[in-house]
Structures are given as C-alpha cells and as structure tokens.
Amino acid sequence: MTLSKKHHYVPEWYQRRFMYEGQNTYFRLDKFPEMINLPNGKIIKKGEILTKGPGKFFYIDELYTTNYFGQKNDEIERHLFGKIDTDGAAAISAMSSPDWMRLIHPHILKYFEYMDAQRLRTPKGLNWLIKVTKPKSYNDLLMKMQDLRTMHITMWAEASMEIVGANNSGTKFIVSDSPVTFYNSVFYPKNAKCLFPNDPEIYLKGTRTIFPLDMNHCAILTNLEYARSPGKLKAPKSRTNPRYFGNTINKYDDIIREREFKEEQVLSINYILKKRATKYIAAANEDWLYPEKYLKKTNWGALDSVFISKSTKLFGINRETFIGGKGGKLIATQDEFGRKPKSEKEWLEKEKQANAMREHVMKLLAKKRSKK
C-alpha cells in the first residue's frame, strides 16, 4: 500500500468553504515571508502571496506519520482524521444551513469533536502539546494528540454559541492555519499567554472561541457568565466549574442565530484571526488578507464589543436542565455550569422540583386546551 504523504492540518474540503463557487484557486498570505535583499537595495518578500488551490496550502509532509522499527504508518491520517473529517464536514454543513435546527441533531457531538481535533492537529496545537505533555518521541506526541483530542468539548457544550453571518458584508470571513482561534480581550498578542504556541485558556471567563464555518458564517463560543455580563475585570477570571472531559448536557436549541455582521465587524473577526494565526491565512479575495488596512480601530481590547450579543436567549440565571423518563422519573439533571447533585438528599430534592415543574406544565397545557 502506498502511504499518504501530504497531510493537511487544515483539510482541503474546509478550505473550499472559503472560496467562491467555481473558484479553483485562492490567495494565501505568509505573515513572515523570507526577505531577500537585492543588489540594488530593494527587498523582495519571497512567496508572501501565492495563488493556488487548497491542495497546495496548509499541509506538512508526513505530519501524522508514525514510525515503529523503521516501518512508517499513516493510519492516523487515513483512518482517524479520515473519519473525523467526513463527520466534521457533514456537521459544519448542517450548522451553517438555514435549516440548521432540523439538521443538526445527529451531528452536534461530531461538530464539537471536529473543532477539538482541528485545534490540536495544527502546528500550533502540536507544539502546545509538546510543551504541556513533554512526549518521549514523535510517536508519543501523536498518541497524546489522540488521547486529548476531545478535551475542550465539555466547556464548549456549556458555553453560549452564536453563529453570525457575513451575507450583508462585501468582505467575507477568511481561513487561517489555526481555524479554531482563542481570543481574550485582556491578553494582547504580545502577552505571554499569546506567544506561540500559547493561547489564553478556554476556562477563563473572557476567552472566546472563534471558528469560521465558511465565507458567510462564523461560530463564536463564549463562557455563559461572560456572554451575559462581559467586562475587562471579569475576563481573566475562571468560569464556574471549569473542567476538561466531563460529562454534560448540551442544549443546542439555545444557539443564537440572529445577527448579520456589518463589514467593520467582519473585518474585526478577520483581524483577530490574522493576528492569532501562526504563519498563514487565506481568502477568496486578496484584499481580505489585509483587514488592518480597512479596519477603523485595531485596539485589541475594544474588539471585544463585536462579540456582545443582546439575544433574549441569554436571559435568566441559575437555569437547570432536567431529563425525565417513564412515569416522570428523573434520570438526569444539572445546572447551567454542569454541576450535578452530590448526595441522595440533593437528588431527591431535584426530583421533587422536576415533578412540581412537570405538574405545573401539565396544568397549563390542560388549561390551554380547555380554552380552544
């Protein structure tokens, strides 16, 4: 069997979502191109902008190839990422559809799984893993990547998620070599938390996750407390009940789909994506590679205002989720931060609350039917 060689850390199918229909090539910018000094004093930025198809960008040869006893193996690329990409493509397509509410149910977990894998499979993600896990070898690094590739899902599932649009903007969303981008308004790009391969931790209240889905759709995930009440003093503090890998309940009917961004807002997103990219960004239009040229304000902290939603879906406090079975039996419950009853006494109290709520709803429904 011939082993695969070109391993895309940003898949080709994902890149094509940022191209016009029928467009075969697009523009890739190298943020740090090789500088060549000519005898006449001119400086050439070698390869700063290239125009090629998705197959030529965002890959490293044998990036996910393991090597045991001199035998190379590409099963991580073919099987692991093959399945993740297939499921992820369907999930992102469903999430960006106008009919998303009907389509997303079988894909919601795969959507989060793709995001998490995409975050760790990039050069930045792999270098972060090296720093944090200190692997014994490259094989060990790739094994650790597989072990940790779902680490963020719990906190993303409990966050507020908003899908914003760029349909009314001449400028569209761009793609970067770090598609799943963390932004926190109080940690500027030169802060230690933002120096390669670091990012502000997801458990900090003000850390927002930015994930463009295509040219016209971008997902923004924000810790619920901060989405309701943002502020500079709150941004560096820990969210309530932060944890990785924990079980939780996701209410995807709370996803906010209410805002079409103006051009200035799209430029703000693209500016953050560019600043947090490791080396490369790409776009269907060359002008979109330079958001800083057209953005009125580039103050890092002030950019946070772009993300503030006034949706009624953020209203409320101390909300709880109850899941019932046959006969009204309570089978699962947690508050909005994933906290569950710690004792039998607490569980019985929650069951009592759930039954009272159920009876109240049944009475309201009966009353409504009697009026018809």
pLDDT at 338: 87
pLDDT at 351: 73
pLDDT at 120: 96
pLDDT at 363: 79
pLDDT in tens, 15-39: 999 999 999 999 999 999 988 888 8
CA distance 63 to 77: 9
Residue 307: alpha-carbon gap to chain centroid: 14
Do the Cβ atoms of 255 and 97 come closer than 8 Å? no
Least confident of 165-169, 256-260, 325-329: 325-329
pLDDT at 372: 63
> Considering the chain, what percentage of its residues have pLDDT values greater than 70?
99
pLDDT at 1: 62
Question: Average pLDDT of 324-352?
Answer: 79
pLDDT at 142: 95
pLDDT in tens, 223-281: 999 999 999 999 999 999 999 998 898 888 899 999 999 999 999 999 999 999 999 99
Beta-bridge partner residues of 321: 334
Do the Cβ atoms of 354 and 324 come closer than 8 Å? yes
pLDDT at 173: 98
Long-range contacts formed by 345-350: CB under 8 A, 24+ apart: 350/320, 350/322
Question: Average pLDDT of 170-178?
Answer: 98
Question: Average pLDDT of 304-314?
Answer: 96
Residue 48 burial (C-beta neighbours within 10 Å; 0-12, 13-18, 19+) = middle
Q: Quick one: pLDDT band at residue 181, thresholds 50, 70, 90?
A: very high
Task: Provide the token pair at 79.
Answer: 């099987």
pLDDT in tens, 97-149: 999 999 999 999 999 999 999 999 999 999 999 999 999 999 999 999 999 99
| pLDDT over 90 (residue 332) | no
Q: Quick one: pLDDT band at residue 212, thresholds 50, 70, 90?
A: very high
Q: Average pLDDT of the chain?
A: 93
Q: What amino acid occupies position 347?
A: W
Least confident of 171-180, 251-260, 345-354: 345-354
pLDDT at 357: 73
Q: Where would I find the H helices in 153-285?
A: 153-157, 224-228, 263-276
pLDDT at 328: 67
pLDDT at 37: 87
Q: What amino acid occupies position 275?
A: K
Q: Quick one: pLDDT band at residue 91, thresholds 50, 70, 90?
A: very high
pLDDT in tens, 39-64: 888 888 888 999 999 999 999 999 99
